[in-house]
Structure 1
Amino acid sequence: MKDSKNPIRFIHSLQAVAEPFLAFLRWEASSGVILLGCAILALIVANSPLAGTYEHILHLPIAIGAGEYTVTMGLLHWINDGLMAVFFFVIGLEIKREFLYGELRTASAMLLPVGAALGGMIVPALLYAAINVGLPTFGGWGIPMATDIAFALGIMTIAARQAPLGLVVFLTALAIVDDLGAIVVIALFYNSDLVFSALLVGLLAIAAAFLFGRLRVRFVPLYIVLGLMAWYAFLQAGIHPTIAGVLLGLSIPAAAKPEASLLHKLEHALEPWSAYGIMPIFALANAGVAISFATFDASSPIFLGILAGLCLGKPLGIFGATFLLCRAFKLPLPGSATKSQLAATGMLGGIGFTMSIFIASLAFTESAQLDLAKISILCASVLSGILGTAFFKLQSLGKTEAAPAKN
């Protein structure tokens, strides 16, 4: 209340809260263009005379550590298990920031994005499961649950400039909840046999990080050491080690003033590295699939399940859940958007590139199935992006044509 009596101080407070979101939006939207370029480059290389060299580099063994604590993995695994742990750490920071300062800080604000995210995860998973029920490919049901926030926001900011800011905020919050849901799915359903002694060590390291976070300890090297311990322990335990990154991100201390917190400092420092470094490297390493039309089967349950999940399940789940919640609680659509704009946003939610490919690499161990899943994700994501863009463009054209009639 004191700030509201001092307009200048109140404006500065609003700017402090909004700045992390605006910076996040800039980074994610622009990184989507780089991510697309890297995915295309990987596809070109994988289908060129350089394909053999590309595969050789990805499987080069790299050893890191000392003595009995040495970890040896191929470059691709270091990217997916190691580098992506930093990406997931940033996601953990983003989730905590959104719950403390952003769109998810109150129960009423959480209602629509959380409901839309749940609808956008459950419906695609059910569609994939229905198509693959009783088949060895059933385990890929988690693939179409994820939304790639960088691609989705990138397309929205470029192709839908007239979209209400509230709708952009809604998509951002939805995608963050979506990431959280995907993390839970990975932790619960995509892990190998557990080694409980190693799991206990990892959980103790994370518990210590939460304790220090509760005590407002700002010594970053301490969190790095605990994070490395948890990462190594989870790897040995059979839990995907990237989960350690998320949990560590959630442990970082916040503050009453967002800009003064270690949470803000680390997110601000790491988000550009994640958006412009880690995600493009992930795309270069994982999007390179040799496309053979002789072996590609468009009737495959993997292809049909992913296509139906992302292109149909995502918009149905997001639009349906949001519309029903707005009706039930007598709320306006996010950003006072039209139904067409909300439907287009749901279509952009079908762009599942990064997290979908990540889950596919956990769901399928056979290279043929994994390659088909990657091709399916790329096809479905491109189609979702085209449909979402087309709907937004049609919406803006409709407004342009209707404007003279009002004069």
Structure 2
Amino acid sequence: MTEGKPASPNTKRRTAGSSPELVSAILLLVVTAIAIVWTNSPFGSTYEEVWSTILAINLGPWQFAITLEHVVSDGLMAIFFFTVGLEVKRELSVGELTEKSRAIVPVAAAIAGLIVPAGIFLLLNAGTLAAHAWGAVISTDTAFLVGALILIRPQHPARLRIFILTLAVVDDIGALIVIALFYSDDLEAVPLLVAFVLLILVFLTRFLPPSVRGALYAMLGLGVWVCFDSAGVHPTLAGVAIALIIPVVTPRRADVEQVVERTRSFRQSPSSDYAVEVNRALRQSISINDRLQTAFRPWTGFVVLPLFALANAGVRLDAQTLSDAMTSRLTWGIVAGLVIGKLVGIVFVTAVLDRTGTGKLAPGLGLSRVAGGAMLCGIGFTISLLIVGIAIEDPELQNQARVGVLLASVLAFGLGWLLLSGLDHFRPTHPVGAKLNRPFDPERDHFVGPTDALRLASNSGHPR
């Protein structure tokens, strides 16, 4: 459904989350600034000391030790990737990526937005020690992207928002595949086999009573994380693997009606037993994927990502570091890949598909607005910093790469803001009238009244 009328339930769900997403993006900015100030303060040496603190668990002869920085980057970030995986699974199952005509343009544009930036980076860094860090330029930070769109407030943003969020989902899939294939260590067969068995158990958990699923998912998830870490697979991917196994279902009418019946019983005779039954019926009527997204999204937005920024955004901005960064092929490779590569890749493929008729943009969404969204896609913060930490061991090169990520994100936001604001001033858009993008489907769409109401109205001679 086009802008101006109620859209899909998925669109409503996303739009409703605008304020928390904006607060999360602002919190990320504040924490990033704190990390930079901390690193460049007279107490800057404590930054590395704090995040290098070793946490250990001893059980007899067995010991598990990990630094505080790795607790955040490998442990808590698994929760972030779990949330991303849930979103990806939902979009593939019942969301924007289920319809070919609607998905082909942002999907193809997202793939180009992965390949072109990587090509530009490698063109500038081929043969250097930093060439392995090409993955730092492929991913868009969805949290910052959504927050930026809310801050800019372009006219009629819903159509652009759906496009770039669909693009961001495919972008996340590509980034996760890249981490799995190119940024995992030598694999160990035995823990990988154990992880595979545990993932099968995760799949089978859906057939158990609802009361035990949550605890079992948590225990099996922790086991998969440990096995991935021991096998040489980056442990954050454990979150993705589990999320892709968890089922996605649309609410069934029978379950919804059961909630109504139990609520009516509670209204007639309020009691704790009826309250428990209503609560249980409500939970069971909603897909576990949706419930988990609702439960984990605040934790990722307000705890996990800010802690990750605090642990990874601390770059020393002294004269020497800035001088090295300004003449570094690594720094400018990241800037060019994110700012230029994302824009060129996304806009070029979108234009080709739209002009050839292979795919179509949503009504009212022009190529110029896609360009504004593509520019914002150059904000590559979270996964970019994660891959910098994985791919580069030299601290000086890490600092140069982080300067590149921060500079690219600032440039992408500023240029995207100027482009979208300029379009609103010189080429204002107009609301699109109510119009279905596809035929009404009673098996898929939510509706009220008889499905053949239009035919009945025509036969009776009443106006439509």
* Global fold match (TM > 0.5): yes
The one-letter code sitting in structure 1 at the alignment partner of 2:317 is I
Any residues of structure 2 matched to 1:5-404 within 5 Å, and which? Answer: 16-64=9-57, 66-67=59-60, 70-213=63-206, 215=207, 218=210, 219-257=213-251, 260-295=286-321, 296-297=323-324, 298-329=326-357, 331-334=359-362, 336-399=364-427
Q: Which runs of 5+ in 2 are unaligned?
A: 1-5, 253-284, 431-464
Counterparts of 1:65 and 1:184, CA distance in 2:
34
Larger CA deviation: 215-224 vs 189-198 = 215-224
Larger CA deviation: 182-191 vs 290-299 = 290-299
1:373 match: secondary structure: helix
RMSD: 2.1
Show the counterpart of 1:4.
none
1:294 match: secondary structure: helix
Shift in CA distance, 208/386, structure 1 to aligned 2, threshold 3 Å: same
Shift in CA distance, 183/65, structure 1 to aligned 2, threshold 3 Å: farther
Shift in CA distance, 383/221, structure 1 to aligned 2, threshold 3 Å: same
Aligned residues: 389
Shift in CA distance, 170/60, structure 1 to aligned 2, threshold 3 Å: same
By how many angstroms is 1:70 displaced? 4.0
Shift in CA distance, 248/20, structure 1 to aligned 2, threshold 3 Å: farther
Counterparts of 1:380 and 1:173, CA distance in 2:
22
Shift in CA distance, 217/176, structure 1 to aligned 2, threshold 3 Å: farther
2:115 match: secondary structure: helix
**Deviation digits for residues 310-365 of structure 1, max 9, x if unmatched?**
01000001111111121222544345223221111110000001111011111101
More helix by share: 1
The one-letter code sitting in structure 2 at the alignment partner of 1:92 is G
Q: Is the 8 A contact 1:85 1:241 kept in 2?
A: yes
Larger CA deviation: 290-299 vs 267-276 = 290-299
Larger CA deviation: 375-384 vs 29-38 = 29-38
Q: Is the 8 A contact 1:63 1:72 kept in 2?
A: yes
Larger CA deviation: 249-258 vs 336-345 = 249-258
**Deviation digits for residues 107-163 of structure 1, max 9, x if unmatched?**
222212211110110000000011111111110111100101111111111213314
Shift in CA distance, 342/236, structure 1 to aligned 2, threshold 3 Å: same
**Deviation digits for residues 189-214 of structure 1, max 9, x if unmatched?**
0011111111111122112212334x
Q: Is the 8 A contact 1:28 1:149 kept in 2?
A: no
Q: Is the 8 A contact 1:142 1:359 kept in 2?
A: yes
Structure-1-length-normalised TM-score: 0.90
Larger radius of gyration: 2
Show the counterpart of 2:435.
none
